[in-house]
Amino acid sequence: MTDDFNDMYETFKALLDSFPPSESVKRLEQFGIRPDVVQRIREHHEQQTIRIKELEEPHAVVLGNRDTWYTGPQAKDKCWPAIVDLLGKDGWPREPAIRALDDSSTRVVSLLNHPKEKAFSTRGLVVGHVQSGKTTNFTSVMAKAADRGYKLFIVLAGIHNGLRRQTQARLVQQLVEPNPSMWSQLTGLDKDFTPQENPASYFGKSNKTRVLCVVKKNATVLRKLARWLEKASDYLQDCPALIIDDEADQATVATSSINPLILDIMGCLPRSAYVGYTASPFANLLIDPSAEDLYPKDFVVNLPKPAGHFGTEVLFGRYALDGEDPEQVDDGHDMIRSVPVDDVPCVRPETRADVEGFEPVITDTLRSAVEYFWLVTAARRVRGTGNEHNTMLIHTSVNTAVHNSFKKPLTRLCEHATASLPNASFRARLQSLWERETGRVRADDFGETKVPFDQLLPELPGVLDSCRIIMDNSSSEDRLDYENGPVVAIAVGGNTLSRGLTLEGLSVSYFVRAVSAYDTLLQMGRWFGFRKGYADLPRIWMTDELAEWFRHLATVETEMRRDIDTYMTEDETPLTFAVRLRTHPALRVTAAAKMRDAVTAASSYGGKRVQTHYFHTNAEWLRGNIDAAKRLVAVAKASATKLEQRSADGRYIFRNVPHDHVIDFLSSYRFHEKSPENDAELISAYIRKRVASAGSLGRWNIAIVGNPKGDDFTFAPGVVVGRNVRARLDVGNADPDFADIKTLMSRRDAAVDLTGDTAKLNEKGIMDRRRVELPDTGLLVLYPIDKVSEPVPTKTARAPLNAEEHVIGVGLVFPEPRDTDSTVEKYISANLSKVRIEEEDYSLLVSEEA
C-alpha cells in the first residue's frame, strides 16, 4: 500500500464513518476517484473497522520496556473480577496483596500474543518463589486470558496425583464455579484426561465456552491428549490456547518422553502460548535456544516476592553481591538449628544395602524438633489466628521403606510424651526448650505476642491426642488431607512432599536429605511460604553443610533474578542475553542431562570485591595463613614505593607492590575449600591475564586494617595493629572446625587507599573514584581477627569465633578492566552462539506489525 493511498484513505476516513457503504461509495466517486480505487478504499476501511472491533485493545502500548496489546482488566471482564471477590472473602487486602497480583499477572498476559492473531507459538517462563502463590498467579493469568478470548487452557500439574488433584480443585473453585456457563472441563477432580467424543462440541465456532484441562506430566496421559487434539485439528484453527506448565523444570526439560509430547501438543495448536512456572528455573534457562524446544525464547519474568513470604534469603541469609554494601545484607532470621553430622546415620541409612531392616533412632535433635512442634501447635491454639492446620516435616531419605520405618519410633515418642506430661521434670524440659527458642527469636519482631509457657501447657494434652504420624509417599495409602477439619500431623516423606504440594501450617522441619543440585535442594524447602499468625515460630533442623548450601543458593537466586530483570529494563531478550548461574564446588546447578547444552559463562573480577568469610578454626591451618600474611607484609615493606601509617585508625598501606608478591601470597594463603567466592588459582590466572594483555594489575596496594581498640597483632617489626572482632554465624557449631563470619570487608575498607573524603561514597562511587585514581592498581587488604571474637549482645544470630589461633581474613578489590577479554570463568548459561537473529527479518516483523 503506497503513501498516496494511505493519505487518500486518511482524508476520506471521516466520510466513510458518516454514511452507509453504498452512499459513501457514491460520494467518493463524486470526487473523481476511479471506481477500482474507491473499492480498495472501501475494503480497507471495512478491514480496519473489523480489526478494531475484534481487538478491543490498543494495537501497541508500552508496558515496562515492551510493546503490548494488553493493558489490564476491563469493566466487562468476568473471570478476573470473580477471583478478586474470592480472594477478598479469603482475607486478601486490596492493598497491597491484590494490587500486586493484578500487576504481576497483567505483566505476564501482556507478553502473550493477542488471541486474534492468525498464528503464534509463544514460549515464556515465569520465575516465582517456593510456596509463594504461583498457582494463584497463573490462575489469574488464565482468568485474564479467558476474559480476552483465549479458549483452551491446558495445565500441566506436576507428576503426582496429589498435586494434579489439588490444582484441579483450585481452578474449579476460582475459575469454573464463579462463571459455570463460561467453562467446559476435560478433566475432573478424580479423573485425569480421557478422550472425549465429538470435539466439535468443545471447539466448534458455535461453542463460546472456555475449555479447561488439568493433566499430570505423564507420558500416557499426554499422548492421549496429543492424539485427541490431532483428531480435533479441524476445529482448532480458531482456538487460541494457553498451556501452563506448573513446576516447569520437573519432567519437562531433557526428558525423552514428556518434552516431545508437550511439543506435539503445541504442534496441534496453530495459536498457542506455553508459559512455564517454577521457583527453580535453572534447567529451563539452560535449554539449547537454537533447538525446537521449550527454551523461553520470548520472555522470562520474575514474580515479586509477596509481603510476608519466608524465602531462602529470609531464613538463611546470603552473601553480598557486586555493588552491595555487605553490612546491609541481612544474616537471615535465627531459625536454623544444627543437626550434628554424627546424627545423620541414626535417621538415614548410609548405603542402599543398609535400607533393609533400618530402624531410625530418635536423636536429641529429632526429639527437640518434635517436642518444639507440639509446643508451637499449643501456642498457635492459644493465639487462635492464622491457618488452622499444624504440620511438621521429616525428610531424611527418598526411600519409602525408610519413611515407613519412622512410624513406630515416632508413635512411641508421642505415647511417651502423653504419659510423661504430668511429670514435673518432663514439663520443665519442655519449658526450658520453649524459653530458649522464644528467647532466640522475639515474637514482637514479627508483630506477635509471646505465648507464656503456662498458657500453652493446658493445650498440650489435646495436641498430643490429635497428633497423627503420616507416611506420605508413593507406596503409602495414608495421605495428608486438609479438607476435613484441622490437622495436627508429623509427615514423613520424600518426593511427594518435596515439590508443589503445600504443607498447610508447616512450622517445624527436620531435613537431612542428601541432594546434589540447586533445583532439587530448593524444591525440598517446603518450609518456604507464608506464616501468618506464627511468623516467629518456624524452625528448621538441618546439618551445617545444608545450611551453607542454602545460603549459597540464596545468593545464586538473587543474582539470577538480577539478570532476569534486565529483560524488563534493558533492550534484551532471552535470545540476546543469557541468564548466568553461579556455580558451587560441591553442587551441580541441575541434573547433568539438563546441562548438556550449557556453556561456561565469563564473569570478570573487574570492578568487584572478593573477600573471605569461611575459615577452618584448627591451629595448623590458621598458622599457615598467618605465616603467608607475614611474608607478604615483609616483602611489601621492602618493595613498596610508599608506606602510609595511620595508627589512630589501625591502618597501614604499602603502595605499588609488584604483582608477583600478591601471586606468591595467593599460592600459600589457603582459602576455605567450600568458599564459592574465592579460588586462588582463578584469581591468580586473572591477574596474570590482566598483566599480560593490558599491563593492568602489575602493581598493588597492600593494606592492613585493624581495630584500634583491639589487642595487638604483629605482622612485622614496626607493623602492629589491633585485632578485629568477627563473630561467627550461630549454626549450632556441630562442626567446630568451620566458621562462617558472613562479612569481612566494609565498604569503607574498599576505599582505604583512595585520597580525599570517601565516607559518603556508595559502592559505585568508590569504584568510580578508583577508576580515576587507580585505574590499573589492585588492592589487597589483610585483617587480623581475634581468635575468640565474642559477638555484641544485640547479634543474637552470632556466636564466638573460638578459633585455635588468630585468623587472617583477606579482601581483594579489582579495578574495572580496560581489556574486556580479561575474564574468569565462574558461571554457566545457555549457549546463544547458535541463535541467529537477522536484522532484515526483525525489520520485516516490525513493518508487518506496524
Residues in Cβ contact with 479 at an 8 Å cutoff, skipping those fewer than 6 apart: 162, 470, 472
Q: What was the pLDDT predicted at 450? A: 96
Distance CA 587, CA 522 (A): 12
pTM value is 0.71
Nearest to 163 by CA among 215, 116, 96, 126: 215
Query: What is the residue whose three cell numbers read 484513505?
Result: 9
Strand, helix or coil at 167? helix
DSSP 3-state of 610: strand
Q: How far apart are CA 74 and CA 81, in angstroms?
A: 9
Write down how long the chain is.
850
Q: For residue 12, what are the contacts with CB-CB under 8 A and spacing of at least 6?
A: 28, 31, 41
3-state class of 403 per DSSP? Answer: helix
CA dist 6 and 790 (Å) reads 79
339 near 734, Cβ under 8 Å? yes
Could you tell me whether strands 777-785 and 807-813 are parallel, antiparallel, or unpaired per DSSP bridges? antiparallel
Alpha helices, DSSP H only, in 69-199?
79-89, 99-110, 134-148, 161-171
Question: In whole angstroms, how far apart are CA 620 and each of 494, 784, 805?
Answer: 41, 16, 8
Separation in Å, CA 401 to CA 349, 354, 404, 489: 11, 11, 5, 19
Q: What sign for the dihedral angle of Cα 315, 319, 320, 325? A: positive
Coil, strand, or helix at residue 22?
A: helix
Supply the Cα-derived Rg of the chain in whole angstroms.
Answer: 31
Distance CA 153, CA 168 (A): 12
**Does the bond joining 96 to the residue before it have cis omega, within 30 degrees of 0?**
yes
> Which helix (H) or strand (E) covers residue 36, if one does?
helix 35-55
CA atoms of 395 and 411, how far apart (whole Å): 17
- Strands 719-722 and 61-63, how do they pair? unpaired
Average pLDDT, 10 consecutive residues per value, the chain (850 residues): 58 60 66 74 62 43 62 94 95 89 94 93 92 89 97 91 90 97 93 85 85 94 94 89 92 81 95 94 90 91 84 83 66 91 92 87 96 97 91 88 92 96 96 97 93 97 95 72 87 66 84 81 74 90 90 88 79 82 83 82 73 92 98 96 88 96 97 78 85 87 95 95 91 76 85 89 84 94 96 77 96 79 63 59 25
Gap between the Cα atoms of 491 and 394, Å rounded = 6
**Domain 115-303 belongs to what topology?**
Rossmann fold (3.40.50)
Q: What is the per-residue burial (b if ≥16 Cβ within 10 Å, else e) of 200-232?
A: eebbeeeeebbbbbbbbbbeebbebbbebbeeb
The Cα 695–Cα 691 span in angstroms is: 4
Angle between helices 407-420 and 364-383 (to 10 degrees): 60
Q: Shortest CA distance to 719 belongs to which of 814, 636, 838? A: 636
Which cell numbers hold the place of 627?
605465616
Give, as one character, the DSSP assignment of residue 61.
Answer: E
Q: How many helices (H) and strands (E) does the chain have?
A: 25, 32
Q: Report the distance separating Cα 611 and Cα 732, nearest Å.
A: 24
Residue 67: C-alpha distances to residues 246, 568, 837 (Å): 26, 11, 19
Partner residues linked to 717 by β-bridges:
none
Cβ atoms 493, 524 nearer than 8 A: no
Give the span between the Cα atoms of 489 and 839, in whole angstroms.
60
Query: What is the three-class DSSP state of 338?
Result: strand
> What is the Cα–Cα distance from 603 to 683, expressed in whole angstroms?
12
H or E element at residue 153? strand 152-157
The CB density around residue 673, as the number of other CB atoms within 10 Å, is: 11
Do strands 719-722 and 614-615 pair parallel, antiparallel, or not at all (unpaired)?
Answer: unpaired
SS (H, E, C) 288-332: CCCCCCCCCCCEEEECCCCCCEECHHHHHCCCCCCCCCHHHCCCC
- Whose grid coordinates read 501482556? 110
The count of other CB atoms within 10 Å of the CB of residue 174 is: 21
Distance CA 254, CA 387 (A): 38
Selection from 485, 517, 480 nearest residue 595 by Cα: 517
Contact 372, 433 (CB under 8 A): yes
Residue spans of the domains in the chain: they are 3-55, 115-303, 335-542, 609-821
Residue 347 C-alpha cell reads as 535417621
Say how far apart CA 613 and CA 144 lie, in whole Å: 47
Q: For residues 739 and 404, what is the distance between their CA atoms, to the nearest angstrom?
A: 36
Helices (H), 598-679: 619-639, 659-668
Residue 178 half-sphere exposure, CB side, CA atoms within 13 Å? 17
User: In whole angstroms, what separates CA 754 from the centre of its chain?
Assistant: 37
Whether the Cβ atoms of residue 423 and residue 435 lie closer than 8 Å to each other: no
Cα–Cα distance for residue pair 68/386, rounded to 1 Å? 39
In a 3-state reduction of DSSP, which class is residue 230? helix
- Rounded Cα–Cα distance for residues 461 and 464 (Å): 5
Grid cell in block for residue 438: 522464644
Angle at 330 between CA 326 and CA 331, to 5 degrees: 105
What sign results for the dihedral spanned by CA atoms 610, 615, 620, 626? positive
- At 794, the amino acid letter reads T
Residue 842's SS3 state is helix
Q: What's the rounded Cα separation, in Å, for the pair 82 and 88?
A: 10
Residues facing 603 on adjacent strands? 824
Characterise 323 by phi-psi region: left (phi > 0), alpha (psi -120 to 50), beta (else): left
Are the C-beta atoms of 125 and 80 separated by less than 8 Å?
Answer: no
Q: Are 258 and 251 in contact (CB under 8 A)?
A: yes
Q: How far apart are CA 429 and CA 31, in angstroms?
A: 100
- Report whether 212 contacts 189 (CB < 8 A): no
Query: What pLDDT was estimated at residue 429?
Result: 96
In which order are the strands placed within the sheet that holds 699-705?
A: 609-611, 807-813, 777-785, 699-705, 651-658, 642-646
